[in-house]
Chain A
Amino acid sequence: MSKPAFAVVVERHGPTVLRVCRAVVGPDDADDAWSETFLSALRAYPELPEDANHEAWLVRIAHHRSVDLLRRRGRAPRPVAALPDRPSPHGNPRPPEDALWAAVAALPERQRLAVAYHYLGGLPHAEVAALIGGRTDAVRRAAADGIAALRRAYPEDDG
Chain B
Amino acid sequence: MTDPLTLLRTDDADRLTALTSRLAAEAEREGLLDLAYRTVDSPVGPLLLVATPEGLVRVAFAVQDHDAVLAGLAVAVSPRLLPAAGRLDPAAQQLDEYFSGRRDAFALPLDLRLTGGFRRRVVERLTTIGYGRTGSYAELAAAAGSPRAFRAVGTACATNPLPVVLPCHRVLPSGGSVAAGRVGGYAGGAEAKRWLLGFEAAHR
Q: Using a CB–CB distance below 8 Å, which chain A residues touch chain B? A: 2-8, 10-11, 14-15, 18-19, 23, 31, 34-35, 38-39, 42-43, 45-46, 96-97, 100-101, 103-104, 119-120, 147, 150-151, 154, 156, 158-159
Contacts and interface: CB of A to CB of B under 8 A. Distances in A.
Given A5-B71, A35-B26, A100-B7, A46 B78 contact: yes
A18 B71 contact: no
Contacts of B81: 5-7
Contacts of A35: 19, 22-23, 26
Given A96-B7, A100-B8, A4 B79 contact: yes
B7 A10 contact: no
Q: Which 6 A-B pairs have the closest CB atoms?
A: A5-B74, A159-B1, A5-B81, A150-B4, A156-B1, A15-B11
Main secondary structure of the interface of A (DSSP, over half): helix
A158 B20 contact: no
B72 to A, nearest CB: 9
B12 A42 contact: no
Contacts of B22: 31, 35
A4 B71 contact: yes
A5 B73 contact: yes
Contact of B32 (A2, A23, A42, A97): A42
A34 B20 CA distance: 10
Interface string B57-71: 000000000000011
Given A35-B19, A151-B4, A46 B80 contact: yes
Contact of A156 (B2, B37, B80): B2
Contacts, number: 100
A2 B81 CA distance: 14
B204 interface: no
Nearest to A10: B20
A97 B10 contact: yes
Nearest to B35: A5
A23 B22 CA distance: 21
Contacts of B75: 2-3
Given A15-B11, A19-B9, A154-B4, A38 B23 contact: yes
Contacts of A38: 19, 23
B83 interface: yes
Given A39-B23, A150-B5, 18 more contacts: A2-B75, A3-B75, A4-B71, A4-B79, A7-B70, A7-B83, A8-B71, A10-B20, A18-B12, A18-B16, A35-B23, A39-B27, A43-B30, A46-B80, A97-B7, A120-B8, A120-B9, A154-B4
Contacts of B27: 39, 42
A103 B8 CA distance: 11
A4 B1 contact: no
A86 to B, nearest CB: 14
8 contacts: A5-B81, A10-B23, A14-B19, A15-B12, A35-B23, A39-B30, A43-B32, A100-B7
Contact of B19 (A23, A34, A43, A46): A34
A156 B9 CA distance: 16
B92 interface: no
Interface string B187-201: 000000000000000
A120 to B, nearest CB: 6
B23 A5 contact: no
A3 B81 CA distance: 11
